[in-house]
Structure 1
Amino acid sequence: MSIKSKIVSVMMAMVLVLSASLIPVGSANAADGLNEQDLQLIEILTAIENMPDEVIMQGEEAIKTYLENEVSFPLGLDEGQGLSDVRMASIGSIAGCVGAVGTAIVVNFTPAKILKIKSALKSVGGATKFVKAIKPYYKMSREDKLSKTASLKQAVRLAAKDAGPDAREALLDLFGVSSVIGSCSAAFGK
């Protein structure tokens, strides 16, 4: 092998190593069995998980602005839009689930409760791990002939099984809002 070939081989190896090191470890993608809608749910939950405490303490308008700036898709948190409007507009889609989660955070929860939800997401290993766990648990529960509401609650409990009781309760509160139940259970499966 000539020196030129050796140099080219070494350079190619370096390029390969460098390009592999630039791939984010633990990123959610299709290889992880997640589709675009799952990634949107992960994105909104990650935004909640990473929301600065100062934003939470500023209240509804700051939270709304923060969430709208942190996600790469429209949340539909327009003035005067109620939870039932989000659900009716997009029931059965993960977009409806994402919108219902965002609206619930903005409209239904006090700063103290949002801080608990944020902490709960961290304690279950983050939004990606939580979403990856909740969908199969939901499908399993539906196969066991549980109602959509009962299936979603059981899926949240099981997905958060390694977290403490306070974390499970906070996530159950978030996924217990009626519009979130309706939108997310329809989006997760039958």
Structure 2
Amino acid sequence: MPFSAAELLSIARNYWRPDRDFDFRPENSPEAERFLELWEKELAKMDQWRAFLRELGGALPAFTIGNATATCDACFRCSVYPATENKPQQRRWVVVGCVSILAPVYTVYGVQYEYTGTERTRDKVFLEPLPPEMQAPADIIARSIEATFGVEKLSRELSEMPVPLIVEPHEPPNTTLFHALFISRPERVP
């Protein structure tokens, strides 16, 4: 059964603050402590995550699969790049799969990069719908995540819902449920 917006917001409030009361204090906020404790528990699942990445590689042999998980974010994250021929390209793209550690939900999104020479000059994040070239790998990632982890896809409507929380660098009214449950800077993919 899908989670309601109120239930997801309630979960997110356990890990993110609505204020900056703990900025510049030597101790962490209770929310930050809960977040760190949760990651300590979730790190025990890294072997399962790595096995998932290997299986995903088998399902997407024409792609490069990477682990983009960072414990400052609220999710396990994989990156799926089309194989390139080692020659510079002006445009590149990646499809990213995220499994939240806060709630049993996931998302898949895309990022398109533009380069001038070797310097990234622009990026664009795509939620649903993804551009046509990203759709097939996104579908495989989504099915694989659901089958492996038994989590539900977070709808775009809920992903874009503003939340009254601070998830650096976002502050209300610009913070969304996507930022709180997954990642605040989705364009940052290695």
Could you say which TM-score interval applies, normalised by the shorter chain?
under 0.3
TM-score, normalised via structure 1 length: 0.26
Q: Which has the higher helix share?
A: 1
TM-score, normalised via structure 2 length: 0.26
Q: Which has the higher strand share?
A: 2
